[in-house]
A and B are shown apart, each in its own frame.
Chain A
């Protein structure tokens, strides 16, 4: 095996045995899976760079030197061809995308292999091994020995040429190998994942290489935060071309986030039809059916035949986002019913639309909450749901992909509420750090508060040591009770859907009473089993039992207070509430124990 870092600087010897320079770089032809080395670049004694053909002039490379088959005088110099890539200049030390592992990595070394006097590039070494070798082969051997001592091998992380995509050099004009799986051949969703990991400059460069259709698809797969960023980096004409190719609802989303001037410019550059659709969509509020719908609807009149409808889909409607449902409308676009693609295909061509139309259609109004629409679609298993105005005219449809996004978004919000994190999905690490909450410190403070509470009751603890035994139990129970009632609330969904306050309170008090009696009895049992004085056993059993009951009640009340509908309270995470309740439980338990203990004495 030959490594580029080991080749660099090795002498170049001509046929008469004179050293005429030292290896500076080597070039490969890019058209193959394992590309051949085609040219050798070396520097002469006075630092002049030369480039010669590898095939014509190189006799052999034996690991220590390159031997040429001609005399110094017989060499013809050449230039770098458009399809050639210089390994050291263009690849070594650069970032590349590993399109197989879907990662952005750095090239630490390049591995070559010699067979029948041809040197071929095997791949880029991107792991620790390459770093060590690049530093010094001694380090690599040392590490290899250390690994062998524990019975393992120093792993080599190799990325083959056909799985690489170069980021920095503009290689769009280079014809890469046929099998070369470049970014634009990836699924747009996968490409979007990689793009999100790049810096904004690199992202812009990759976008330059994508054609408009690919760019449009990839752009709609990007997270919202990156979309406006990408559009920012593109020229007006290109940006508007790409937006035009996107589904109007996705395009409207992006344009809605742009500054007014830019949005106007882009809309003006678009075709009249597209810009009108987008403008209409921009009029609807975000997070409503109107905001996520697409105006591209396939509509047909009632008096058509199945044959006519299929023709219509083939010609006029083939570009629409969704054609799984065809909506039957009156002349003024008032919705009559729906036909599925399935109905169309299984029906004889001369059947009238009238005969197969399903007149009972589930519809949404443009102002409906997007979550309700998505839930209805999931309930009725719909691939699309029509959005109609108050007089029943079709405005657009909400398609299933947008509905899925809504559901994911909402569940992420619920999760954030439960865990106290406000992290948006998959943002850059630094950015991500900024979003993440610092509840840790709050918990720490609350924890310290708990210590203060315990300290306040030190005289009780002195006179009734057994009170300490059940501290962890009380804390744990209080936490669990409050997490439980909060979990119920999250499940219940929107504030107005929650069970009425009084009813919930009664349920929780009953449950709390049951739990209190059980735990109280268990504590009593344990105390008796430990042969503690009976008076103390009763005091502690009562204290624990009553605390559980009170905490269950508090657990029912607190979320209603903390989670005011639409109020700031929605941001208070369950973990914070349960820590608070745990501290409260601690205080109540100790106070009860102190009070009861005083009475018994």
Chain B
């Protein structure tokens, strides 16, 4: 091999380990994410930007930790929880993962329904068809090829960056909002803050990222390269998220437009797409939701089967892997069925699912942080102090917000 060839081998090694982080993070900008960010901007203007800034380091290190655990142990998150904590805590953790996943899958189908309604297709038609298509994508294992296309399509959300510029926000105000924390003491604000955390650092993302790192066979030696994939992926997903908030804050907030359906949310793209704003928004929402609706149930099924030692794999038959096949089938069709209940507000579903995610996040993070600080498991790759402080700060903050929300609800404040 020539020196040039050797250089290429090095680049190939980098490309070989890159991907999981970027995929996991950008799949996070799904229907739940888009709606939560849009509502945050439309309802509170730039107020919540500082929270996004504060969350970004947490998100980056959480993704890095999940990937590092996979690289060091060669095992999935669920397997590590089981081996470290035993059966009962694992059961609790899996229940939380299942709840988080199912809630988000419901949100994805809500996203599909909302996007198709922008095209004028009734949800009673689009959702059953989407459920069957998603299920087939999973069963036939073909979603990975479609994934690239759909992820590329959902990349239209980067249009928000352009839209934000074209909407001429008051940049000084934006900068101010980024650095000066401001809290509105009402229930909606707290709930939205929890939702923002839940959608940004969604629990299922760590399971997904870690399992992909394991599947790729990335070793700790290669992790030096690969962690940049996880961290850059996380950071760039958050950049897009911030621009969504800026855009909606600049376009919808001054007009006092409340987002009650995807129609209003789509208007935020008007500065860049004009009359095609709805089309652009619908295409992005549809593709992001479809891919996430396939990935989420699979992630949960793999993790749960891994934890309890059940046979898993899309190439297994129902007789060979009843739990695995049963789980994702139930999640997909159960979620789709829920959307079809009459009189359900799609936007509300998308928001609530992210709040659920946010409330569950700290508990799964506690599992994560205890495993990653266990020297018997991680050897010399345990966390440094900065990582631990940041992680615990996230855990404490989100639990605090949840307690505050519950207290306000019980006491009837706000």
Contact = CB atoms under 8 A, between A and B. Distances in A.
Interface in B287-320: 302, 307-315
Contact of B79 (A95, A135, A259, A440): A95
Interface stretch (A33-41, A301-309, A424-432): A424-432
Interface residues of B, number: 43
B322 to A, nearest CB: 9
Interface SS of chain A: helix
A105 B310 CA distance: 7
A438 interface: yes
Interface stretch (B195-203, B210-218, B255-263): B210-218
B215 A428 contact: yes
A433 interface: yes
Contact of A438 (B82, B88, B149, B217): B149
- How many A residues are at the interface, by size bracket? 35 or more
Nearest to B316: A429
Given A436-B140, A438-B146, A200 B217 contact: yes
B137 A229 contact: no
Contacts of A431: 215-216
A199 B72 CA distance: 12
A88 B279 CA distance: 58
B88 A444 contact: no
A351 interface: no
B145 A93 contact: no
B15 interface: no
Contacts of B309: 95, 105-108, 126
Contacts of A440: 133, 136-137, 140, 142, 146
B144 interface: yes
Nearest to A435: B144
B145 A436 contact: yes
Interface in A107-149: 107-108, 126, 128, 131, 134-135
Nearest to A428: B215
Contact of A131 (B74, B83, B308): B308
A78 interface: no
Contacts of B315: 429, 432
Contacts, number: 100
A5 B74 contact: no
A103 interface: yes
Interface string B145-165: 110010000000000000000
B303 to A, nearest CB: 12
Nearest to B214: A199
Interface in A2-30: 5
Interface string B200-236: 0000000000011011110100000000000000000
Contacts of A134: 87-88
Contact of B82 (A93, A261, A433, A435): A93
Nearest to B87: A134
A202 interface: yes
B172 interface: no
Task: Identify which of A105, A134, A201 gathers the most chain B CB atoms within 10 Å of its CB.
Answer: A201
B9 interface: yes
Instruction: Report the 9 A-B pairs with minimum CB-CB distance, sorted nearest first.
Output: A106-B309, A201-B74, A438-B145, A260-B1, A430-B215, A134-B87, A438-B146, A199-B74, A200-B217
Given A432-B141, A434-B144, 7 more contacts: A200-B74, A200-B214, A201-B73, A201-B75, A259-B1, A436-B142, A441-B149
Interface of B: 1, 5-6, 9, 73-75, 79, 82-83, 86-88, 91, 133, 136-137, 140-146, 149, 211-212, 214-217, 219, 302, 307-315, 323
Interface of A: 5, 92-95, 103, 105-108, 126, 128, 131, 134-135, 168, 199-202, 229, 233, 259-261, 428-441, 444
11 contacts: A134-B87, A134-B88, A135-B88, A135-B91, A199-B214, A200-B219, A260-B5, A430-B215, A432-B141, A433-B314, A440-B146
